[in-house]
Amino acid sequence: MNTKTILIVDDEPRTRQGLKKNLDTWANGNYQIITASNGEEAIQLMKENKVHILITDIRMPEITGLELLKIAKELNIFPVIIVISAYSEFEYAQEALRLGVINYLLKPISKKALIEAVEEAVKEVKKKQRVGLIEKVVDTKLVDANTQNPSNREPIREAIDYINNNLKNELTQKEVADHVHLNPSYLSSLFKEHVKLTFSEYVTRRRIQRAKELLMTTNLPINDIAEESGYKTAKYFIKIFRELEGVTPSAYRKNNNEKAF
């Protein structure tokens, strides 16, 4: 399910329903808007649902909004947070900011202020997911390959760019050597010296990284992902993927699937 969830927590039924009504209209079915009347209910909902944006009142009986944020943090639940309050005391705002709140809205909240705050939160969610995606697909050996000795490596930089732009194609060492006007065996030794990977190791790792990106951000069938990553058959692609990642492409997708917000 791709729908992202926004949780509204407020002990005042009128405020809670008013916020939900405004956000339902704005969301137009693109987001799931759920509500909780107290902190305990909110915690339960966050355990059961992946909450992307949390909008919570500060002053609530039993568990306050700030206590709710602390509990969420302890549970390793990190939604993008908007705090609402009828109180403008500075210490509340200060504490809220320390707990990672991106916006602090004072009651009564205008529809315009609410939507602006939520749209800003949506951007923050997208940013967090992009960072998460990069962390998941990053191959440290490829990162190292791109930060090795910057001197005397113009042909290698050109070779890497050519490989990265032609992953879908067959890509032979001779073809890349011709492109950078070097003898294939000289390119091979230069590549190994600067990139710390052989030519074929680099191509394989780069193709598998491309496959991981596609597995996590698209619904393309495995056959198509194999082709997009430069593999002629899905069977061979699955074999190489499993050797490098320890799981099949399908299992990787199931474990890591993160859709864009």
Give the per-residue pLDDT at 35: 97
Is the same domain home to 44 and 113?
Answer: yes
Say whether pLDDT at 23 is over 60: yes
pLDDT tens digits, residue range 100-124? 888 888 888 999 999 999 999 999 9
Is the same domain home to 76 and 176?
Answer: no
Give the per-residue pLDDT at 1: 44
Domains in the chain, number? 2
Query: Which residues, including other chains, have CB under 8 Å from residue 168's CB and lie 6 or more apart?
Result: 227, 228, 229, 230
User: Which tokens in the block code for residue 34?
Assistant: 């759920």
Report which listed range, 33-42, 55-64, 129-138, is most confident.
33-42
pLDDT tens digits, residue range 137-155? 778 888 777 665 555 578 8
Domain boundary among 110, 130, 150: 130
Is the same domain home to 79 and 193?
Answer: no
What CATH number is associated with residue 68? 3.40.50.2300
Say whether pLDDT at 258 is over 60: no
Give the per-residue pLDDT at 108: 87
Cβ–Cβ contacts within 10 Å for residue 145, how many? 20
Say whether pLDDT at 260 is over 70: no
Report DSSP letters for 160-228, one per residue: HHHHHHTTTS---HHHHHHHTT--HHHHHHHHHHHHSS-HHHHHHHHHHHHHHHHHHH----HHHHHHH
Is the same domain home to 120 and 205?
Answer: no
Say whether pLDDT at 132 is over 90: no
Is the same domain home to 121 and 145?
Answer: no
Is the same domain home to 194 and 82?
Answer: no
Q: Is residue 135 part of a domain?
A: no
Q: Is residue 73 part of a domain?
A: yes
Range of 53's domain?
4-130
Name the residue with higher pLDDT: 195 or 96.
195
The predicted model scores a pTM of 0.65
Average pLDDT value over all residues in the chain: 88
Lowest mean pLDDT among 1-15, 48-62, 151-165, 223-237: 151-165
Domain boundary among 130, 165, 185: 130
What CATH number is associated with residue 205? 1.10.10.60
